[in-house]
Structure 1
Amino acid sequence: MKLYRNYFRRYKVPFLAGVLCVTLEAVCDLLGPTLMAHIVNNGIEQGSLSGVYHWGTLMLAVTLIGACFAVTRNILASHVSQRMGANLRSDLFKKIISFSEDSADKIEAGSLITRMTNDTAQIVQFVNGIMRIFLKAPLTGLGSIILASLLNFRLSLIIYGVVAVVTLLIYISMKLSYPRFYQLQMAMDQVNLKVQEYLIGVRLVKAFGTYGKEIEKFDEENRNLRQRGISSQMVITLITPFLTLVVGVGTTAVIYLGSRLFMRDLANVGDMTAFTIYMAQILISLIMITNVFTMFVRTKASTARIREVLDSGEDFAPSQATGKLQGRITFDQVTFAYPKGSGVPAIRELSFTVNPGESLAIIGPTGSGKSTIAWLLLRFYDVDSGAIILDNSNLKELGSDVIRSNIAIVPQKPMLFSGSVAENLRWGNQHASPDQLKQAAEKAQADFIVEMAEGYDSLLGSAGVNLSGGQKQRISLARAILKKAPVLILDDATSALDAVTEAKVRENLKHQEDQQTVIIITQRCGTAMSADQILVMENGRKVGWGTHEELLRSCEVYQDIYHTQIESSREG
C-alpha cells in the first residue's frame, strides 16, 4: 500500500472528489428501491395517481443526479489513473537508468519490459476501478443490506448467510489465485525475453539457419504462459459458479419466505418489491466484489514486482568532490569477484599507477580480467579489498556522477541508438557545435559520415544496424573523443579497424590539445606496443609491467603473445 499512498498524495483532491462522487452515486442507487416501495404503497395500492407522479418524479430526479455523479467520477478516475500510470512509468525508467550493476544483473531486461508495460497497466486498471467500481460495490452492497434489514429483519437473515458464504469463497479464491498470478507474470517475462533475444540476434539466427530451434524455444515458453494463464483463471472459473449458486439459493429463499410473510400480513407488496430489488443489488455487488478481489490479486502480484524494481539498489553515491580531475589512476592491491558469480576472483591483488597524460595498454589472454579493470574504474562494481585511487581520492568516496563525468569509454561492443549521427555523437557533449562534431569524427577516422545521404543528420537504426562494425566503432570513438574527459578507456575499441586506420587513430589521440590518460584494453601486441606502459594480465593477476622492449626480455606471457601474433604473421 505504500506504493499507492505515495502516488495518491499527488492526486489527493481529484481522488477524494472521485470517492465523493462514487459515494453519492451509491446513495442515489440505494434510494431507488425505497422510492419504488413508496410508489407501490402510497400510489398504486391506494389508487393515487398523484402519489405515483410525486414519487415517480422524485425517483427520476434521483436517478438523473446519480447519472451526473457517475459521469463525473468516470472522468476523475480516468484522469487520476492515467496520470498515475504515466508517473509510475517515469519513476520506473528513472530507477532503471540508475540501477547498480548488481540490480541490473538480478532483473532481466525482458522482465523489466513486462513490469514497465503489463504490470503498470494492471495497476492503472486497478486504480481506475477503485474510483469507478470497487468503492461503489461494497457501498451499494452494505447499504442494500442495511436498508433491506430495516424493511424486514426476518428476510435479511438470509442475506447475512449468503454474504458469509460468499466472503469465505472470496477468501479461498484469493489464497489460491495470488501465487498463480505471480507465476503468470513471470511466464510473461520469459516470453518477452525470448522475443528480445531473437530480435537482438536475428542476423545470427539467419546466418546459422536456426529458425526451427528458435521457434521451438518460443513455443515452449508460449505453452508455459498458456498453462499459467489457464491455471490462474481456473480458480476463478471454478469458484464463480458456486458464488452464483449461493446467491441464487439466497434469492429463492427470500422469495419463498417473503411470500409466506406476505400471506400472514407480515410484509406488504411495496416492501417486498423493494426487498427484491435490494437483493438484486446485493447480488450485483457480490459479483462485482468478486471481480474486485480477482483484480486485487493480479494487482498485488504486479505491485510486488514493481516494488522490487523501485527498491533495487542504485549506483549514485553522494559526491564528495566536484570539478574536472587530472586523471591519475592507482590500483592498490585490488581484489574483486563478480557478485553472484563463480566466486573466483576476476582480479587478484592488482597494483599499478598511471600518471596524467600517460597511456597504458592492458593485454592478456581471454578471461584474464582486462575489461573488469574498466568496469571497476567506472565504479559499476566496488572492489572486495584494496583501493582504487583517482587523483587523490578513493573511488568509493567519489560519486558515480563525478567519476563518469571524468571518464570516457569506447566499449568492446559499440552501442548506438536510433536517431541521427549527430545525436549519437552528442552523447559525448550535448552542446557540441557542428565544427566540434566534425573535428571529433576526423580524429576517429569517421570520414564516411560526410558521404552518407544526409551527412551528420543521417538516421541510424536501433543499435546502428545500418552500419558496419568498423563504422560503429569509429562513431563510438568520436563520441568519446568529443567528451574531452581526463581519462579515456578504449576497450578493444579498434578491433574492427584495419592496421592503417588504427594507427591513424592512435596518432590522433596522441596529438590532442587536452592530454588524456588513455587506458587501452587490447589483445593485439601491435596496438599495445605504442603505449607508454603495458600491463600484462593472466588469470586476474599482474604478470608483467613495462615497455614493449622490457616485456620482451622479462615476461614469458607477453613473449608468447608476441611470437604468436607478430612473428606468425611475418612468416605468413
Structure 2
Amino acid sequence: MDIYNYYFNKYKFPFIIAVSCVFFEAMCDLLQPTIMARIIDEGVKSSRVDIVIRLGLLMLMITAFGACFAAARNILSSKVSQNFGVDLRCDVFSKIIHFSEVSTDKIESGSLITRLTNDTSQVIQFINGLMRIFFKAPVTCLGSIILAVILSPKLSFIMFFVVVIVSAFIIISMKMSYIRFAKVQYAIDKVNTVVQEYLLGIRLVKAFGRYEEEEEKFDGANADLSDKSASSQLVIAYFSPVMSLTVSLGIASILYTGSVLFSNSEIEVGKVAAFINYMTQIMASLIMITNIFNIFVRTKASTERINEVLNSEEDFKGVKQTIKYDFEGLSFNDVTFAYPNGSGMPAINNLTFKVDRGETLAIIGPTGSGKTTLTWLCLRFYDVEKGAICFNNNDIKMLDCNTLRDNIALAPQKSMLFTGTVFENIAWGNPNASKEEIIKAALAAQADEFIQRMPNRYESILGRGGVNLSGGQKQRISIARALVKKSPVLILDDCTSALDAVTEAKVRLGLKTADTEKTIIMITQRIGTAMSADKILVLDNGVKVGFGSHNELLDSCDTYRGIFESQIGGNLNGDIYE
C-alpha cells in the first residue's frame, strides 16, 4: 500500500490549493530583488523620488500578497497534515487489530507502538512541511537561477559552479543519512520494548529484586539510541557548514567579479545587488533543500516501517457462510501444524478426534504437548498445514473468521481484564447483555460472591489488568465474560489454575447448569478436572496418545495413568490411595 498515493487522492483539492499558494508566494519573493534593482538604477541613481515611491509601493503590495498566500498555505497545511495523521493512525491501528498471529509474532509490540506514534508523527511532519516549504525551496531556487541569469550571464557561471558543488554535497549527505536514520527508529523500538517488558513484569522484578539488571538493560538501550541519534546528526553537522561556506565563497566571488564588471561599465549597481539577493535566496533554498532531504530520509525509513504494518497479513478470510447456532460438533481430521518461523517440528501431529454437542472434552498432557496450540487452531489464529478442522461439518477454512469466533467463547490461560467496572469487563464478552444476564454469568462462574463484597459491587472500578483482584478472582470474571457471550462452544484454557478444588468443582457445575447444551473444551493440568469430563484427550508432543473416558484411559493409556498416579495415586484398577 502506497500511503501517499492513497491519501493524496483523498486530500487532493486542499493539497493543490496549498501548493498553488506556495507557488504564488515564491513568485512574490522572486519579484522583489528585481524591483529593488529598478529602484536603485532608475530611481536612486537618477534622483527620481517618484520612481522610488511608485516602485516601493509596488514592492509593499507584492509583499502583502505574499503574506496572504503564506497564511493560506499555513492554515491548509496544518489542517490537511493533521487530518492525514488522524486517518493514518486509525488505519494502522485498524490493521493491527486485524493482524494474523503470524504478523503478531513477526513485529514486537514495542515496535508497533513506535510505528503508531513516532513514525506516524514523522510522516505528519513531512506532509506539513511538504505543503509549507518543501515546494517553495525548489521553486525559489529555480526561479532565482533563471532571473539571475537574465540579470547577468557572466556572473551566472559562478552561481552554477556553486549550485553543482552544493548539489553534490546534498546527494552524498542523503545517502549517508538514510541508513543512520533507519537505525534510529529501530533503536527507539528497543527502548519501548525494554520499558514495556518491565511494566508488564514489574511485580516479578520486585519479587526477585532485579532492579539493577533492568536499569542496566534500559541504560544499554538508551545509550544505543543516543549513539545512533548522534551518528545521524553528525552527517548534518558536517555537511551544513561546508555547504554554507561554499555558498558564502560564491557570494564573495560574485562581489569581486561584479565590482570588476561595474568598473568596466558592463553591469549596473542595482543588478549586482539584485544578483547577490538572488544568490542569497539560492543559498537559503539549497540549505532548505538539504533539510528537506534530511527529513525525507527519516520519513522514508518511517514510511517503510508503516507500510510493513499496512501490508502485513490479516486474519484469514474465508467464504462468508453463516453457521447455525444449533451446533452439532467440532472435529479434527488428521491435523498437522507447526508454528511459522518456529523450530519446524510439528506442535500438533496427525491429530484426529471429535466432540459432539453438549459434551465436555478435557484435554490433558505434559507441558509443551500442544494443548494451547489446539485452542489457537480452533479459533483459526493459524491455519493447519495438513488435514482439516470442521465446525458443523464445515471446514473452518471456508468460514469467515468473525463468524467462526462468534460461535466460540474463550476463557484464556492468562486472564486479561481492562480498566473499567466489573460490569463492563464481563459485558465485554457481549455488549448487548442485560444486567440479569451479567449476574447470571457471574453466578455460574462463582464470581458473584466476591463481587457482592466489593464497595460498589458490579460498578466497582478495576485497575489496568485487574491489579486490585486476586488471581482466582480474575479467572472467575474471565469465565463469566466467556459465558455471557452465549456461544455454543466454550473453551477453558487452563483458566481455573488459581482456584482451589472446591471452587473449581462449583464452577464446573455452574457451567453445566447454566447451559446443558453447551459444548465445553477444558484444557487442564489437573487430573481431578479431567476426570469429570465426558471425554478426555491425552496429548504428548502434539500426538494423540489417548482418547476416551477416565476409566478407559486408566486401562489403555500409560501417559494418562502416569499423570493420574503422580497427582492422586492409584493402582492399575484406578483405586485412589489415601
With the length of structure 2 as denominator, give the TM-score of the two structures.
0.97
Partner of 1:340: 341
Question: Is residue 2:363 matched to residue 1:356?
Answer: no
Tell me by how many angstroms 1:86 deviates.
0.7
Partner of 2:419: 418
Q: Note if contact 1:327-1:517 (Cα within 8 Å) is conserved in structure 2.
A: no
Partner of 1:557: 559
Q: Note if contact 1:420-1:458 (Cα within 8 Å) is conserved in structure 2.
A: yes
Question: How many Å separate the matches in 2 of 1:2 and 1:521?
Answer: 44
What amino acid is the match of 1:440? A
Question: How many Å separate the matches in 1 of 2:44 and 2:419?
Answer: 74
Q: Note if contact 1:446-1:475 (Cα within 8 Å) is conserved in structure 2.
A: yes
For 1:367-415, what per-residue CA distance to the aligned partner results, in whole angstroms no more than 9, with x for missing partners?
0111111000000011111111111110111111111111000000011
Question: Is residue 2:407 matched to residue 1:406?
Answer: yes
Q: Note if contact 1:319-1:402 (Cα within 8 Å) is conserved in structure 2.
A: no
RMSD, aligned CA: 1.4
What amino acid is the match of 1:14? P
Question: Is residue 2:7 matched to residue 1:7?
Answer: yes
Question: How many Å separate the matches in 1 of 2:320 and 2:88?
Answer: 31
Question: Is residue 2:207 matched to residue 1:207?
Answer: yes
Q: Structure 1 residues 513, 505: closer, same or farther in 2, change over 3 A?
A: same
Partner of 1:139: 139
User: Matched residue of 1:520: which SS?
Assistant: strand
What amino acid is the match of 1:246? T
Q: Note if contact 1:428-1:479 (Cα within 8 Å) is conserved in structure 2.
A: yes
For 1:348-367, what per-residue CA distance to the aligned partner results, in whole angstroms no more than 9, with x for missing partners?
10100111111100000100
For 1:508-550, what per-residue CA distance to the aligned partner results, in whole angstroms no more than 9, with x for missing partners?
1112246111100001011011110000111111111111111
User: Matched residue of 2:246: which SS?
Assistant: helix
Partner of 2:474: 472
Q: Name which of structure 1's ranges 103-112 and 263-272 shifts more when overlaid on structure 2.
A: 263-272
Q: Name which of structure 1's ranges 427-436 and 1-10 shifts more when overlaid on structure 2.
A: 1-10
Question: How many Å separate the matches in 2 of 1:139 and 1:126?
Answer: 18
Question: How many Å separate the matches in 1 of 2:138 and 2:170?
Answer: 14
Q: Note if contact 2:361-2:535 (Cα within 8 Å) is conserved in structure 1.
A: yes
Question: How many Å separate the matches in 1 of 2:344 and 2:454?
Answer: 48
Question: How many Å separate the matches in 1 of 2:257 and 2:324?
Answer: 87
User: Matched residue of 2:465: which SS?
Assistant: helix
Question: Is residue 2:36 matched to residue 1:29?
Answer: no
Question: How many Å separate the matches in 1 of 2:387 and 2:377?
Answer: 12
User: Matched residue of 2:545: which SS?
Assistant: strand
Q: Note if contact 2:420-2:462 (Cα within 8 Å) is conserved in structure 1.
A: yes
Question: Is residue 2:174 matched to residue 1:171?
Answer: no
Partner of 1:496: 498
Question: Is residue 2:308 matched to residue 1:308?
Answer: yes
What amino acid is the match of 1:391? N
Aligned length: 572
Question: Is residue 2:316 matched to residue 1:320?
Answer: no
User: Matched residue of 2:536: which SS?
Assistant: strand
Partner of 2:573: none
Question: How many Å separate the matches in 1 of 2:265 and 2:165?
Answer: 30
Question: How many Å separate the matches in 2 of 1:257 and 1:455?
Answer: 88
For 1:298-353, what per-residue CA distance to the aligned partner results, in whole angstroms no more than 9, with x for missing partners?
00000000000000000140433114341511111111111101111111101001
Question: How many Å separate the matches in 1 of 2:223 and 2:324?
Answer: 55
Q: Sequence identity, in percent?
A: 57
Question: How many Å separate the matches in 2 of 1:571 and 1:547?
Answer: 20
Partner of 1:428: 429
Q: Name which of structure 1's ranges 324-333 and 494-503 shifts more when overlaid on structure 2.
A: 324-333
Q: Note if contact 1:324-1:406 (Cα within 8 Å) is conserved in structure 2.
A: no
Partner of 1:58: 58
With the length of structure 1 as denominator, give the TM-score of the two structures.
0.98
What amino acid is the match of 2:564? Y
Question: How many Å separate the matches in 2 of 1:215 and 1:327?
Answer: 55
Partner of 2:98: 98
Listed as ranges, the gaps of 5+ residues in structure 1 are none
User: Matched residue of 1:511: which SS?
Assistant: helix
Q: Note if contact 2:323-2:404 (Cα within 8 Å) is conserved in structure 1.
A: no
Aligned partner of 1:517 among 509, 516, 519: 519
Aligned partner of 2:487 among 485, 488, 501: 485
Q: Note if contact 1:319-1:400 (Cα within 8 Å) is conserved in structure 2.
A: no
User: Matched residue of 1:317: which SS?
Assistant: coil
Tell me by how many angstroms 1:427 deviates.
1.7
For 1:200-234, what per-residue CA distance to the aligned partner results, in whole angstroms no more than 9, with x for missing partners?
00000000000000001111111111111111112
Tell me by how many angstroms 1:169 deviates.
0.8
What amino acid is the match of 1:284? A
User: Matched residue of 2:410: which SS?
Assistant: strand
User: Matched residue of 1:350: which SS?
Assistant: strand
Q: Displaced runs of 4+ in structure 1, greater than 6 A?
A: none
Question: How many Å separate the matches in 1 of 2:347 and 2:182?
Answer: 36
For 1:470-519, what per-residue CA distance to the aligned partner results, in whole angstroms no more than 9, with x for missing partners?
11101110000000101100000111111111111111111224611110
User: Matched residue of 1:312: which SS?
Assistant: coil
Tell me by how many angstroms 1:445 deviates.
0.7
Question: How many Å separate the matches in 1 of 2:310 and 2:267?
Answer: 59
Question: How many Å separate the matches in 2 of 1:218 and 1:413?
Answer: 27
Q: Name which of structure 1's ranges 523-532 and 233-242 shifts more when overlaid on structure 2.
A: 233-242
What amino acid is the match of 2:428? W
Question: How many Å separate the matches in 2 of 1:530 and 1:423?
Answer: 32
Question: How many Å separate the matches in 1 of 2:310 and 2:122?
Answer: 17
Question: How many Å separate the matches in 1 of 2:186 and 2:520?
Answer: 44
Partner of 1:261: 261
Q: Note if contact 2:318-2:397 (Cα within 8 Å) is conserved in structure 1.
A: no
User: Matched residue of 2:11: which SS?
Assistant: helix
Q: Note if contact 1:409-1:490 (Cα within 8 Å) is conserved in structure 2.
A: yes
Listed as ranges, the gaps of 5+ residues in structure 2 are 571-575
Question: How many Å separate the matches in 2 of 1:316 and 1:373?
Answer: 17
What amino acid is the match of 1:528? A
Partner of 1:377: 378
Q: How does 1:30-45 map to 2 (within 5 A)?
A: 30-45=30-45
Partner of 2:148: 148
Question: How many Å separate the matches in 2 of 1:163 and 1:188?
Answer: 36
Partner of 1:545: 547
Question: How many Å separate the matches in 2 of 1:466 and 1:240?
Answer: 55
Question: How many Å separate the matches in 2 of 1:236 and 1:327?
Answer: 68
Q: Note if contact 1:327-1:487 (Cα within 8 Å) is conserved in structure 2.
A: no
Tell me by how many angstroms 1:3 deviates.
1.5
Question: How many Å separate the matches in 2 of 1:102 and 1:48?
Answer: 79
Q: Note if contact 1:484-1:514 (Cα within 8 Å) is conserved in structure 2.
A: no
What amino acid is the match of 1:79? K
Q: Structure 1 residues 348, 316: closer, same or farther in 2, change over 3 A?
A: closer
Question: How many Å separate the matches in 2 of 1:320 and 1:123?
Answer: 36
Question: How many Å separate the matches in 1 of 2:491 and 2:305?
Answer: 36
Question: How many Å separate the matches in 1 of 2:129 and 2:268?
Answer: 38
Partner of 2:74: 74
